[in-house]
Structure 1
Amino acid sequence: MRKPPAHAPVPAPVSMPVIRLAVQYDGTMSATVDGEPLAPPVDEGVWRRGSFARIVDQVTAERMIPARVEVTEADGSTFTDIITATARKNTPAPDLPEPDPADAPRLLEVTGEGFVPGEDIAVCRIIRHTDAAATGTARALIDLAYDHIDTGDEVVLMGRVSGTFVVRSLS
């Protein structure tokens, strides 16, 4: 086996930050990034369950880099997820012509509670994903014009981190 020349660049290992959150029974959390403690904002004093999205956004530079998130609940249960990077575009949206009212989408709102603020929510029949609001609630708009969706169908909102399932009928 040949040795590379002394001037050859050494490839850097691929890594992503690991965020570990430990939730206490009172809803407070401790947070570490790559094993180092992450201090909460001075004015708040402690991390709370509702700080989940803020922690992830802070560590991932507003989701510009991926991160592994490991959550340990007070009861010992654990959840692990990879937060993927989101491509950001700084181009303004083009001006679109006004739609014909006959072509306007018919939307039905589906809501649920009990999600971790900021977590990714699967809308099943997996049509799209939505994010939980800062209050832990989720909202999805369903376009009833799709011929594969019937008003008798049920929709499931599934929290990817919390494991929360909310089942709603479209009727």
Structure 2
Amino acid sequence: MSMPVIRLDVHDDGTMSATVDGEPLAPPVAQGTWRRGSFARIVDQVTAERSIPARVEVTEADGSVFTDIISAVRRNTPAPTPPEPERPEAPRLVEVTGPGFVPGEDVAVCRIIRHTDAASTGTARALIDLTHDHLDPADEIVLVGRVSGTFVVRSLS
């Protein structure tokens, strides 16, 4: 890709003529003529909003010449928006209780998936997460007191 050369000739009345690589660059119809204030608009138009560099030569009405290289502006592409994290499925809990345990006793929850302790009243309570423990509603749960030997059998249905 070659760097375009923009030549701007400023006239005594403040109007300008513009060429790009030797070809005339016409102003927008509504504007009629290029003026000194059109400089940035011309550069932006030719450089596709400064995405490519360009050489600019300005010849003033008094004959003085100024030359500059307009650098391309580096635009960082924003990172894509990360996808929304999937919300974990809320636990579906089933409570299984039974009497006859010694207070503070370790109680096995069978299909042994975890253990629990009996409350001070001697009642054991186990919360079973159906989304995690993959139990069938027809399954039975057994609470086994490790000290008292108490067995409580409860159906999940």
Q: Structure 1-normalised TM-score? A: 0.45
Higher Cα Rg, which structure: 2
Q: What's the TM-score once normalised by structure 2's chain length?
A: 0.49
